[in-house]
Amino acid sequence: MPQKTIGEYSEFTLIDQITKKFADLKKRGTIINIGDDGAVFSSKLHTAHVTSIDSFVENVHWDSRKTNFYDIGWKSVNAAVSDIAAMGSKGTYITIACNLKNDMLHVEFIKLINGIHDACVKLKISVIGGNLSNSKTTTITVTAMGTMPTKNNHILSMQRNKAHIGDKIIVSGQIGGAGAGFQLSKKKDIDEKKLLQIFHKPHARTDIAERLAYSGVQCAIDISDGLLQDLLHICHASQVNATIHREQIPLFKESIKIFGLLQAQEIALTAGEDYELLFTANDTVIKKIKRKKIPFYIIGTIDSKKIEKKAVNISLVNDKNITKITKNSGWEHFGHE
């Protein structure tokens, strides 16, 4: 019998295998460990740090025939920092490992550095370390670090496993822009600047992360894999089912114009790399968010507890019908089982 390759497993199964393997290691000082967007750790009482690592790989995260190193630098920083924004942090530092080809033009190297630099300026964070290595495949790996907001000596983290029944499901901005931009980037005939810009230059939502946490939001994730996929992560971790109202998903008018309403909704549901925050909140918390003038869009509800041994159930509702989603869909790096 031939041996299985990792391509025959889903990314999440492989991660699960790793998580189990490392369960025996002492978690000295960690408050939140593997399994969320970032890990939260503390060296002393009432000070907590959060960290997350993320890679950008040639021909996986971008098409090498259309490489724009400024954008790759920008995007790799924002993607990594987005994970700690989803935990409630505004971010403070990154370290960055660049594995680059020997024949990379030096002007391209400078573009990469400029993209990283400008993203850091925008996000108000510093690069405090790095590593350069030669490689046949260009890979940029960023570790993001930040401190966590606290209130009365209590750490205000936003976690995947804190969605409660009755909570509204909320997104922090219009979604599907990056997915639409990605599809347009493959076409020569349509040059829709706004959508392409969203795809090439996404923004990690560190501008609202801490304020959401202070408002009382306890459950959040960043939309990197796609709305449905990321909501499934929340539902799995919180052991709940959810309902999404298709019409309430905030879309870009440019995307509707080019792809039509249904297709624009599909893109918003399944395409990733928007880096908006997806979170849940009860009415009291929503009032506080309103008072802080943070923009938000309610798109659904956490409606029931997951039935033991049954799959998580997400209902997609529109005027006419209900579609039940019970399995993963979205971007996975390895195979589907």
Query: What part of residues 65-124 is at the interface with a copy of itself (CB under 8 A)?
Result: 92-93, 95-97, 99-100, 102-107, 109-110, 113-114, 117, 120-121, 124
Question: What stretch of H or E contains 134?
Answer: strand 126-134
Q: How far is the CB of 18 from a copy of itself (least distance, A)?
A: 6
| 9 is an interface residue for a copy of itself by CB under 8 A | yes
Q: Which of 328, 221, 321 is nearest to 280 (CA)?
A: 221
Residue 52 binds to a copy of itself (criterion: CB under 8 A): yes
Q: Which is nearer to a copy of itself, 47 or 239 (CB)?
A: 47
Q: Using CB under 8 A, which residues numbered 142 to 201 contact a copy of itself?
A: 143, 145, 147
34 scored as a contact of a copy of itself (CB under 8 A) = yes
244 and 231 in contact (C-beta within 8 Å)?
Answer: yes
Is 77 or 208 the residue whose CB approaches a copy of itself more closely?
A: 77
Stretch that binds a copy of itself, among 7-15, 176-184, 243-251, 301-309 (CB under 8 A): 7-15
- Among residues 50, 54, 19, 24, which one has the least CA distance to residue 35? 19
Binding to a copy of itself by residue 131, rule CB under 8 A? yes
Tell whether the torsion through CA atoms of 255, 256, 260 and 266 is positive or negative: positive
Q: Which span sits near a copy of itself by CB under 8 A: 29-37, 199-207, 208-216, 273-281?
A: 29-37
Q: Which of residues 318-337 bind a copy of itself (CB under 8 A)?
A: 333-335
Characterise 124 by phi-psi region: left (phi > 0), alpha (psi -120 to 50), beta (else).
left
Q: Pick the stretch among 42-50, 226-234, 271-279, 280-288 that binds a copy of itself (CB under 8 A).
A: 42-50
The backbone torsions φ and ψ at residue 259, rounded to the nearest 5 degrees and listed phi first, read -100, -15
Residue 219's nearest CA partner among 204, 231, 228 is: 231
Q: Write the DSSP string, 159-227.
A: -GGG--TTPEEEESS--SHHHHHHHHHT-SS---HHHHHHHHS----HHHHHHHHHHT--EEEE-SS-H
Q: Among 16, 66, 129, 324, which residue sits at the site for a copy of itself (rule: CB under 8 A)? A: 129
Q: Which of 60, 261, 262, 307 binds a copy of itself (CB under 8 A)?
A: 60
